[in-house]
Amino acid sequence: MNSPSSVQPAQSIPIALCCNPADTEAWRRGLQAAMPDAAVSVWPAASPGAQTAVVWSPSQAFMDAHPDLKLIFNMGAGVDALMRLRLPAQARVVRIEDGGMAVQMADYVCHALLRHFREFDVYAQSAAQQKWAPRGPRNRQDFPVGVMGLGALGQRVARSVAAFDFPVFGWSQTAKSIEGVQCLAGEAQFDEFLSKTRVLVCLLPLTDATRDILDYRSLSKLKPGGYLINVARGSQLVEEDLLRLMDEGRMAGATLDVTRQEPLPPEHPFWTHPQVVLTPHVSAQTLVHESIAQISEKVRAALAGEPLRGVVDAARGY
Ligand code: OXD
């Protein structure tokens, strides 16, 4: 009989795998290579006794077919899709910690920030019209950046932005301390954080508390000429409110890697809005090799009864 915190021994690890069909084979082969004694079964073939699962956005049917799961590895950083399901009571959800995603987030956000700050889109338009039209320098002190969400990814982003000498503020639920970043925390300091920020970067987990957090009220607290970079979840932004603030000239624009509906429907105004830069949810993609190395190490740690990092707090939802 296994204790609730340990999993079956290595030679009999059934692993239930459930992900986007296009990625399945790479994950199946990678998991099998990293854990030769595991038996990886690919959903919808169920592995009813499996205590370990590796998943991205699984269905309730998957969970119901695997009532003995103790460890559910989420293939990405955001666990919101999992948190909406009824999970086996004894299961712990473990997310990928960084796994090569933090540097991607940092380069994506720095690119979006510098593209806006250095007016590269304006120069692209001039070049398209064969116009040699230099513009004066802008002062980065006038572009304070506020990073919402200071987990592994948010901290890396905040540090990378600070390395470009922008003033950087951070905001998170619980107080954090990051060199070069002025950190604020909790509801009580939210408005102060917004009012110090001109370029707002959202890296928050999606929970009931953060759904719709980027609405007219909060975005209109930004400094004049506010700019939004959303690399978290589309449901955190009230899209009509952003459109209204841009129409009113109170926000300069946005770079959005995520939208409420993905793929973005063809008729959506973001596609053609001149102040919106869109990418298709690619700011930080899960790297299969790095993630599998992390998962197999954690499976080994769980077998040895060692404490696990990256376990999601079900009450907080991240
Ligand atoms: C993630 C994502 O959560 O890709 O990792 O959205």
Please identify which of the residues 233, 244, 268, 316 carries the catalytic annotation.
Answer: 233
Residue 316, in any domain of the structure? no
User: Are 208 and 256 contained in the same domain?
Assistant: yes
Q: What is the pLDDT of residue 4?
A: 46
Residue 250, in any domain of the structure? yes
Q: Centre a 10 Å sphere on the Cβ of residue 127 and count the other Cβ atoms it contains.
A: 11
User: Are 94 and 108 contained in the same domain?
Assistant: no
For the cut 80, the answer to whether the pLDDT of residue 1 exceeds it is: no
Cα-trace Rg, the chain = 22
For the cut 80, the answer to whether the pLDDT of residue 182 exceeds it is: yes
Kindly indicate the confidence band of residue 34, based on its pLDDT and cuts at 50, 70 and 90.
very high
Specify the CATH number for the domain of residue 24. 3.40.50.720
User: Are 127 and 256 contained in the same domain?
Assistant: yes
What would the pLDDT profile of 36-94 be if each residue is shown by its tens digit? 999 999 999 989 999 999 999 999 999 999 999 999 999 999 999 999 999 999 999 99
User: Are 148 and 265 contained in the same domain?
Assistant: yes
Residue 167 Cβ < 6 Å to ligand 1: no
User: Are 227 and 299 contained in the same domain?
Assistant: no
- Candidate of 108, 286, 287, 288 to mutate for ligand 1, largest count of ligand atoms within 8 Å of Cβ: 286
User: Are 94 and 142 contained in the same domain?
Assistant: no
Q: What is the pLDDT of residue 11?
A: 55
User: Are 253 and 146 contained in the same domain?
Assistant: yes
Atom of ligand 1 nearest to the CA of 283: 4
Tell me the C-alpha distance between 57 and 293, whole Å.
20
Residue 310, in any domain of the structure? no
User: Are 43 and 171 contained in the same domain?
Assistant: no
281 is annotated as an active-site residue: yes
256, 237 Cβ separation under 8 angstroms: yes
Please count the structural domains in the chain.
2
User: Are 137 and 178 contained in the same domain?
Assistant: yes
Tell me the C-alpha distance between 169 and 249, whole Å.
24
What would the pLDDT profile of 257-303 be if each residue is shown by its tens digit? 999 999 999 999 999 999 999 999 999 999 999 999 999 999 999 99
Residue 308, in any domain of the structure? no
- Ligand 1 centre to CA of 52 (Å) is 20
User: Are 15 and 156 contained in the same domain?
Assistant: no
- Ligand 1 centre to CA of 95 (Å) is 10
User: Are 23 and 110 contained in the same domain?
Assistant: no
- Ligand 1 centre to CA of 284 (Å) is 7
Residue 120, in any domain of the structure? yes
Could you list the residue range(s) of the whole structural domain that residue 184 is in?
101-278
Q: Whose CA is nearest to atom 3 of ligand 1?
A: 78
User: Are 179 and 40 contained in the same domain?
Assistant: no
Q: Whose CA is nearest to atom 2 of ligand 1?
A: 76
Instruction: Return the percentage of the chain with pLDDT > 70, whole number.
Output: 97
Residue with tokens 């540090």: 159
92 is annotated as an active-site residue: no
Kindly indicate the confidence band of residue 6, based on its pLDDT and cuts at 50, 70 and 90.
low
Q: Which residues, 6+ apart, have CB-to-CB distance to 17 below 8 Å?
A: 24, 27, 28, 31, 40, 41, 42, 43, 53, 54, 55
Average pLDDT over residues 153-170: 98
11, 37 Cβ separation under 8 angstroms: yes
Angle between helix axes 21-34 and 288-303 (nearest 10 degrees) is 50
